[in-house]
Amino acid sequence: MSAITESNFNFKGQTNVYHGKVRDVYTLDNGLLVMVASDRISAFDHILPKGIPFKGQVLNQVATMFLDATRDIVPNWLLATPDPSVAIGYACEPVRVEMVIRGYLAGHAAREYKLGKRILCGVVLPEGMKENDKFPEPIITPATKAEEGHDEDISREDILSKGIVPQAIYEKMESYTRALFQRGTEMAADHGLILVDTKYEFGIRDGEVILIDEIHTPDSSRYFYKDGYEERQAKDEAQKQLSKEFVRQWLIEHNFQGLDGQDMPFMPDEFVATITDRYIELYEKITGMDFVKSETSDISYRIQSNVDAYLKTL
């Protein structure tokens, strides 16, 4: 199976291109962005050495579904998805803070908790919790959005006191974050899943706060299976989950957490195939639809053709 791990497109009106960890973003002179979801996968802020077939398609199509399903809550950047791996929308000025919201003590929060920390991003965590327990109420634990390297935890108080985000904008982002998480939680529950935690990114367009990037995808979110959750917690068993946390766990088991002096482990083809299967499983579980694999004989040609055809309609 083919995977797209790099892109070098030339679209009509293109003025700039930014290659991110997973997405390549092409800026056009008409105020639009062409966002190509590659098949790259990152963990601990490092790009892994092999692409994951169909991963970009999964991310793009899941994000599109949720962006369309939340327009009544918050305006977003998306205009069209002319290719299974491409989204086109409005260019916005990004807010350099990621809004991370957690309904459960999992992932990064659980690792910090095990170290004895009881304050995360200025939020006091209850005593006596164990990994994957539900918080009394979802907590927001923001992170500064780094151009390179690790994003860093930051408190609401620091964001406001340092003037990183104006208070009115930050409060709107908070309100949107809670409403989006509630909607995502309800949609996940409809398909037998628990939305454990996720992150949202916002931008400013014409003075308005706009939801940008992806939402509720396996790259930006963690899902547990609802069936058996209580029993597994009672028995102190690991939760069955759909997210890329299993990729992080595999890396940890192979002595890699992105720290200085650590070498990225070799990824066998069998593990790559497992990741593809997990992403497709999440797509089908969260959308309730069968995943239709796109044509991959020449992914770059397919994307160029589909985007060119859409731009001609504008």
Of the pLDDT bands very low, low, confident and very high (cuts 50, 70, 90), residue 246 is confident
Q: What is the mean pLDDT of the chain?
A: 94
User: Please, what are the domains in the chain?
Assistant: 94-246 (3.30.470.20)
Among 303, 302, 280, which residue's Cα sits nearest to residue 290? 280
Q: Flag whether pLDDT at 125 surpasses 80.
A: yes
Taking residues 53-70, report their average pLDDT. 96
Taking residues 168-186, report their average pLDDT. 98
Of the pLDDT bands very low, low, confident and very high (cuts 50, 70, 90), residue 109 is very high
Q: How many CA atoms lie within 13 A of 251 on its CB side?
A: 23
Confidence (pLDDT) at 285:
93
Q: Flag whether pLDDT at 243 surpasses 90.
A: no
Please state the pTM of the whole predicted model.
0.90
Q: Flag whether pLDDT at 241 surpasses 90.
A: no
